């Protein structure tokens, strides 16, 4: 998580001072990229690091994280994704909590983040569930990811995202389960060829191929 360094208070002016995150938000790199779309391996890294941060908050008894979205995930100078410290629940002047959440609700929000990472755009959860039920998986996947992952990995990620979005909270997976699944997917992604080579026939009569 991005570190909260301190605070400043001057009469009615109050500021929180947080760790500098010079490489922008996930939303910038996922939705508004300029040079090239985010690679699959980095998207998995974001998902796994986010799951670890959420599990850490729960394990340490910190206030549950709310309003999870691509604008809440920032990149440090080394390109590592971190959760913004401003997503924690906080008390109002009246002493009431904003956005009281259960772990299952955090899992639902995490499912919407997985959708964003898979599709490269924001897809409303209700629409995504309709696509899941119709097994229209290709509609959910970012075409820029073609050749960067196997059909097996794509199907597995679709499955866990659909479970996160279950209408019955008790049917949603735990963050520990999500961490284990994403860790396995990341290991497989590291072994997947960075550049998928295509074999193109250069002769009809001879088995001669070139690699692109």
Q: How far apart are CA 92 and CA 86, in angstroms?
A: 14
Q: What Cα–Cα distance (Å) separates residue 194 from each residue in 17, 126, 148, 199, 209?
A: 39, 34, 7, 16, 20
- Selecting among 67, 116, 130, 151, the annotated active-site residue is 67
The tens digit of pLDDT for each residue in 50-94 reads 999 989 888 877 766 667 889 989 999 999 999 886 655 454 344
pLDDT at 101: 60
Alpha carbons 11 and 7: distance in angstroms, whole number:
13
Q: What is residue 92's predicted lDDT score, i.e. its pLDDT? A: 39
Q: Is 95 left (phi over 0), alpha (psi -120 to 50) or beta?
A: left
The domain defined by 24-211 carries CATH number 3.10.129.10: no
| CA nearest to 158, candidates 179, 135, 191 | 135
pLDDT digits (tens, 9 = 90+) for 43-61: 999 999 999 998 988 887 7
Check residue 80 and give its pLDDT.
92
Q: What is the pLDDT of residue 128?
A: 85
Active site residue 11: no
Instruction: Give pLDDT < 50 ranges for the chain.
Output: 89, 91-100, 195-212
All structural domains of the chain with their residue ranges: 24-211
User: Distance between CA atoms of 54 and 52, rounded to whole angstroms?
Assistant: 5
d(CA 27, CA 69): 8
Predicted TM-score of the model (pTM): 0.79
Is the CB of residue 88 less than 8 Å from the CB of residue 63?
yes
């Amino acid at each position: 998580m991005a570190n909260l360094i301190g605070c400043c208070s001057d009469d009615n002016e109050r500021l929180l001072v947080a760790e500098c995150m010079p490489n922008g938000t996930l939303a910038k790199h996922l939705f508004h990229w300029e040079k090239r779309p985010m690679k699959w391996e980095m998207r998995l890294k974001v998902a796994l690091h986010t799951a670890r941060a959420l599990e850490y908050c729960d394990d340490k008894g910190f206030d549950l994280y709310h309003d999870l979205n691509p604008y809440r995930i920032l990149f440090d100078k080394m390109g590592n994704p971190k959760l913004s410290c401003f997503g924690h629940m906080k008390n109002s002047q009246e002493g009431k909590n904003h956005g009281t959440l259960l772990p299952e609700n955090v899992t639902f929000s995490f499912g919407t983040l997985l959708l964003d990472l898979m599709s490269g755009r924001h897809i409303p959860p209700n629409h995504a569930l309709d696509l899941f039920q119709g097994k229209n998986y290709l509609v959910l996947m970012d075409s820029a990811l073609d050749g960067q992952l196997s059909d097996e990995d794509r199907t597995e990620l679709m499955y866990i995202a659909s479970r996160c979005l279950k209408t019955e909270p008790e049917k949603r997976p735990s963050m520990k389960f999500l961490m284990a699944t994403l860790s396995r997917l990341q290991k497989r992604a590291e072994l997947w060829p960075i550049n998928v080579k295509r074999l193109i026939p250069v002769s009809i009569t001879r088995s001669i191929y070139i690699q692109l």
